Amino acid sequence: DALQQQLDDLQDFQIIAHRGASGHAPEHTWPAYQQARRMGADYLELDLHMSADGELMVIHDDTLDRTTDGSGPVKDHTLAKLKALDAGSWFNESHTDRAEEAYAGAELLTLDEVIDRYGSDVRYYIETKSPERYPELQRALVETLEAEGLVASGSVVIQSFSQDSLEQVHALNADIPLVQLVWYSPAEDGSGLTEWTGVTPDPAEITDADFQAIADYAVGIGPNVVYDGEDVIDAGFVEQAHDNGLLVHPYTINDVDQMQRLLDWGVDGMFTNFPDRLSGLVE
Ligand code: G3P
Ligand code: CA
């Protein structure tokens, strides 16, 4: 069936358009998603927050300040207020070489709007952001996906740094493929690498049991690759994840040499702001 087809397809290399083709157009707007589709992305990556009136909003940051002409927390604004914001002009101002008139005034989007437009024509790689801030987000998300038939059509992966959020999703619908995100950065006491989520220890010390604990609920792991110019994972990490039945989808890879290096390590997909660069390599 379609869900099994999705799992089979995940065994092949996946181009995950990070916030859409967000290197070319303002992240999480129609131009970014349209360009990602044209560039051959397998998945559109969406980050979710909620409006004050409970709408699922596609935006990365907790706050509006960086990517819109509004300010303050997303969750303090109603849908109507959020839809009135300009989520495109900031891009033209900060990337003058890639600016396009059409980007000015681009709207923030709801998950419903994105699904209404693309349905099961695309696949969605949806991140639950700040689940502690939005305790009702998981249920609202799963209900939406089920109502639209997008789980059965094999159209969705759900990712989070929060193991708790992923487990909530699975309690609601155990068919949705999950990916555990991890972030490796140096420990403050200088003892090595650490991470935000409490899911895995230092990759140099990670054991099969650690990977298995993730494989109990997830199909894959999504790590960062570099911190402050230094690699935090290596080919051995990818191999050990594979040996434990986990896919590896590193984020966020925009440099072509870096993409090639990770392809050589055998990763199963990458998050990138430049899907065109990655599709040029994997064709
Ligand atoms: O979801 C993968 C990657 O996007 C995680 O980091 O902060 O860009 O959402 P962030
Ligand atoms: Ca993300």
From the candidates 60, 77, 170, 249, give the one annotated as an active-site residue.
60
For residue 260, how far is its CA from the centre of ligand 2 (angstroms)?
22
Backbone angles phi, psi at 274, to 5 degrees: -125, 75
- Asked whether the predicted pLDDT for residue 88 surpasses 70, the reply is yes
Among candidate residues 204, 232, 199, 229, the one with its CA nearest the CA of residue 217: 199
For residue 127, how far is its CA from the centre of ligand 2 (angstroms)?
6
pLDDT digit string, tens, across residues 132-142: 889 999 999 99
From residue 57, how far is each of 28, 230, 269 by CA, in Å? 10, 34, 25
From the candidates 18, 24, 28, 170, give the one annotated as an active-site residue.
18
Q: How far apart (Å, rounded) are the C-alpha atoms in residues 74 and 70?
A: 9
Task: Provide the pLDDT for residue 170.
Answer: 97
pLDDT digit string, tens, across residues 182-214: 998 877 787 777 765 566 677 877 889 999 999
Binned at pLDDT 50, 70 and 90, residue 131 comes out as: confident
Task: Provide the pLDDT for residue 187.
Answer: 78
Residue 49 annotated among the catalytic residues of the structure: no
Residue 18 annotated among the catalytic residues of the structure: yes
Mutate to test the pocket of ligand 1, among 14, 197, 271, 273 (most ligand atoms within 8 A of CB): 271
Ordered domains of the chain (ranges, CATH): 2-282 (3.20.20.190)
